[in-house]
Amino acid sequence: MGWHEHGMSGWGWLAMSIGMVIVWALIIAGTAVVFRYLGTAQRTAAPPAGPSPQDLLAERFARGEIDAEEYRSRLETLRGGGASTTRG
């Protein structure tokens, strides 16, 4: 009983080797897809909503950082009604 009595030629070994590479590639790719899916499933939660730009502008006005004219001008700009006339 020798090693060459199995009846497989060089082409059989080649096909078996390529098949094994394909099997391992599928296993690795499948594992990567599962981990990627599990990772993105945890990150899909929406971040908490912050205050709107209008709310931030109203807060600045309430704190006295901007005057009424600048508040109205910026509010109109935020609503899409015109250009801003900001003062430094």
Instruction: Mark whether 55 and 79 lie in a shared domain.
Output: yes
pLDDT band at 5 (very low <50, low <70, confident <90, very high): low
Domain that holds residue 77: 48-88
Instruction: Mark whether 37 and 70 lie in a shared domain.
Output: no
pLDDT digits (tens, 9 = 90+) for 11-59: 888 899 999 999 999 999 999 999 888 887 666 666 678 888 889 999 9
Q: What is the DSSP string of 20-47?
A: HHHHHHHHHHHHHHHHHHHHHHHHTSPP
Question: Is the pLDDT confidence value at 7 over 90?
Answer: no
Instruction: Mark whether 3 and 36 lie in a shared domain.
Output: yes
Instruction: Mark whether 36 and 76 lie in a shared domain.
Output: no
Instruction: Locate 59 and state its tokens.
Output: 């807060």
What pLDDT does 78 receive? 87
Number of structural domains, the chain?
Answer: 2
Instruction: Mark whether 58 and 37 lie in a shared domain.
Output: no
Q: How far apart are CA 10 and CA 1, in angstroms?
A: 19
> 73 near 84, Cβ under 8 Å?
yes
